[in-house]
Chains A and B, each alone.
Chain A
Amino acid sequence: MSGTFVGMPAFPEAAQDAVRDTTLRGNLRHATHTIRAKRAKAVAEVSDWAALREAGRRIKDHTLLHLDRYLEQLEAAVTAAGGTVHWAADAEEANRIVARLVRETGESEVVKVKSMATQEIGLNEALEAEGIRAYETDLAELIVQLGEDRPSHILVPAIHRNRGEIRDVFRSRMGHWGRPAPEGLTDTPAELAEAARLHLREKFLRAKVGISGANFMVAETGTLVVVESEGNGRMCLTLPETLISVVGIEKVVPSWRDLEVFLQTLPRSSTAERMNPYTSTWTGTTDGDGPRVFHLVLLDNGRTDTLADEVGRQALRCIRCSACLNVCPVYERAGGHAYGSVYPGPIGAILSPQLRGTGSAIDASLPYASSLCGACYEVCPVAIDIPEVLVHLRERVAQGGPVTREGNKVVLKPAAGHGAERAAMRAARWAFRHPGALRAGQRLASRTRRLHPRTLPGPGRAWTGSRDLPAVPPEPFRDWWQRTHGGQDGAR
């Protein structure tokens, strides 16, 4: 994924600043609670939501099971419709292909549709290194780009910014990238939107190359689909002469009938809209209409490795709606940046350690960035059991085991730093297999209870830093039971 995130500290450390930033927490709380309530209302209106969710799950599972077949069908259909299909095994290859394609047009700037896949591979930075400037045209992505910031939400990348901050970014930075912000710009939403409109219009009219991702690819006709709210995406998809789309291989669906399910569940889950405002579809190229050259770059970047894992593969069902972020109590307090990936929140916590592996500090800590409360699974429109995958990945980190990396089966060793925990878990398992030992421990705790400190040293501070310890009772329940009911079950 993007080089921006290399060297991220582990999640607990990365989350510290956000947890203590009361303004940021207020912003996030307000934003996520508003959208979560709207989503709940939009979903409650649909009488067959459970059936749609199940259909979405099954369509994705079926497609993933036969991914090779549907991708080849898609490639044939796109090619027949005048497009060119490229296959990229990883981020580097995808970036290389896109840079070459842009260079071949003779252009040195491109306009971009909001796209998670190009964020994932760090395309903008890779193009910059080749002397090609990529302009983000989604309003929130524009704010992030102008502010030299990082996205903190899948759907609302600038969710961590308030209106005043956005006005300041526009005032100080727009001039460096093109048309400056109007004089006397205030922080009213209408003025901010107008400033962005004027700034971007210039770029839409000038650009010869557009770059996009896609929400869906329909295998039967070779059609790509982009779902967006602003119409800026449609400008990029229709005005330039050349269109390059970088799309993860898991975005394919077999047919238009399948697409129908997701066009109902995605808008309600993400923006809480009944119907999506701008749904653009295109099939190869069309004479006299839209781009004359179309390239599709199909991106793997860890997806087939993820597909090889029986439990973890359900993460590939994700349609990037962000509903899980908006209900997550951990995301709400830690903020999106703490996840060290363009995929924050619960879905990011199961996607990043699979796409990138669990080798880095941040990726090894993401599976633990959850209280396993299950709110994410409840709202997921494709029924990804995120807690199940989190626990599965914790096992991979703590105990190691078989995984697929770059197509090869390897056996991971347990991650470093879990030795003491592993020993404690083994000791606890031993004690719990020997009720006598448990009882001896309980009695020791009870008899020494007056000596227990209120706060603990070392790792114990993680508890007592913010919470008092429970008082240990004079006797454990089992002793009371034996005293009072001993005759009934003395043998056991």
Chain B
Amino acid sequence: MRVALFLTCVNDTLYPDTGRAVVRLLTRLGVDVDFPMAQTCCGQAHYNTGYRHEAEPLARHFAEVFGGYDAVVTPSGSCGAMVREMYPRMGERARAEGRGDALARTLAPVVPTTYELTEFLVDVLGVTDVGATYPHTVTYHPTCHGLRALGLGDRPRRLLQAVRGLELVELPGADECCGFGGTFAVKNADVSAAMGADKVRNAASTGAEVLCAADNSCLMHIGGTMTRLNSGMRPVHLAEILASTEEEPAV
């Protein structure tokens, strides 16, 4: 099986540790993962802000870069949802605009082969115990696009529950959005900040050391709010927890 890592532009630029964690985790599980250097961005920010036509070349680029792989794994629920849910919709819209089937045909191959990390682990590799050790108290925030667009369900929790030393505590109001929402975070900064502060308060009420999620863009917003509010907690991507072992613990 040819497996590619689609790291996402945000992770590549700001969160390389998450990328290294995915590589370490998949390698440990016997997957030979490739990182095609031509990859850039799925176009989600363009699409969701109302620039669908600007997103189209990026979607085509994604399909060119990742078209030859059997599986494309991404540690981001929202970027995964972009490919799986929005790429078909972009093809349909192009067709409705009288531009034919070209876009739909170009994008179609990568739609079923793109997996969010926890889907790939649980559904494709069939593992929930990835052999990780992480001796910390953790609360889990299911990000909106992972939860509602991809329907990740209890996959992330099952993976976390199998981690040795990890104590998982329930997050009150877990299903509620953290307030990031891409450009929403700056276009409606007051409302976004209020949502973020409520999320951080709920997280702090659990007494956990770590708030875990499977999407660094949400964690960037939650983490930035945490340090501003001096909550004493830290945000950690799920991949970094799953990559952590006794020999090579995550910090």
- Contact, CB under 8 Å: A15 / B191: yes
- Contact, CB under 8 Å: A367 / B50: yes
- Chain A residue at smallest Cβ distance from B175: A375
B11, B177, B220: which contacts A373 (Cβ < 8 A)?
B177
Which B residues touch A20, using CB under 8 A? Answer: 190
B182, B185, B224: which contacts A470 (Cβ < 8 A)?
B224
Q: A421-B49, A435-B39 are in contact. Are A372 and B181 (CB under 8 A)?
A: yes
- Contact, CB under 8 Å: B46 / A465: no
Which A residues touch B158, using CB under 8 A? Answer: none
Check if B105 is an interface residue, CB within 8 A of chain A: no
B26-69 CB mask vs A (1 if < 8 Å, else 0) is 00000000111111110101111111111101100100010000
- Contact, CB under 8 Å: A329 / B177: yes
CA distance A373 to B149 in the complex (A): 9
Q: A467-B193, A473-B14 are in contact. Are A425 and B46 (CB under 8 A)?
A: yes
B190-217 CB mask vs A (1 if < 8 Å, else 0) is 1111111100000000000000000000
B17, B36, B61, B183: which contacts A433 (Cβ < 8 A)?
B61
Q: A374-B149, A432-B40, A435-B39 are in contact. Are A388 and B89 (CB under 8 A)?
A: yes
Q: How many whole Å from A311's CB to the nearest CB in chain B? A: 8
Interface size class of B (residues with CB under 8 A): 35 or more
Greatest chain A CB density within 10 A among B65, B188, B227 is at: B188
CA distance A468 to B176 in the complex (A): 22
Q: A373-B181, A398-B50, A435-B37 are in contact. Are A467 and B12 (CB under 8 A)?
A: no
CA distance A12 to B190 in the complex (A): 7
- Contact, CB under 8 Å: A478 / B37: yes
Which B residues touch A16, using CB under 8 A? Answer: 190
CA distance A91 to B196 in the complex (A): 40
Check if A65 is an interface residue, CB within 8 A of chain B: no
- Contact, CB under 8 Å: A480 / B54: no
CA distance A478 to B160 in the complex (A): 28
Check if A485 is an interface residue, CB within 8 A of chain B: yes
Check if A462 is an interface residue, CB within 8 A of chain B: yes
Greatest chain B CB density within 10 A among A399, A466, A472 is at: A466
- Contact, CB under 8 Å: B144 / A476: no
Check if B148 is an interface residue, CB within 8 A of chain A: yes
- Contact, CB under 8 Å: B50 / A463: no
Check if A47 is an interface residue, CB within 8 A of chain B: no
B9, B176, B177: which contacts A438 (Cβ < 8 A)?
B9
Check if B137 is an interface residue, CB within 8 A of chain A: no
* CB-defined A-B contacts under 8 Å, sample of 25: A12-B187, A15-B191, A311-B93, A329-B177, A369-B188, A370-B184, A371-B180, A372-B48, A372-B144, A372-B184, A373-B144, A374-B149, A391-B47, A394-B50, A397-B50, A426-B54, A428-B46, A462-B189, A463-B224, A466-B225, A468-B228, A470-B14, A477-B12, A489-B36, A489-B37
Other CB < 8 Å A-B pairs besides A372-B184, A391-B50, A463-B186, 16 of them?
A: A15-B190, A19-B194, A20-B190, A367-B50, A373-B144, A374-B148, A375-B177, A429-B58, A435-B39, A438-B40, A442-B13, A466-B192, A470-B14, A480-B20, A481-B19, A481-B23
Residues of B within 8 A of A (CB): 7, 9, 11-17, 19-20, 23, 34-41, 43, 45-55, 57-58, 61, 65, 89, 93, 96, 144-145, 148-149, 175-177, 179-197, 220-221, 223-225, 227-228
Residues of A within 8 A of B (CB): 11-12, 15-16, 19-20, 25, 310-311, 329-330, 333-334, 367-375, 377-378, 388, 391, 393-399, 421-422, 425-426, 428-429, 431-433, 435, 438, 442, 445, 459, 462-463, 465-470, 472-473, 475-478, 480-482, 485, 488-490, 492
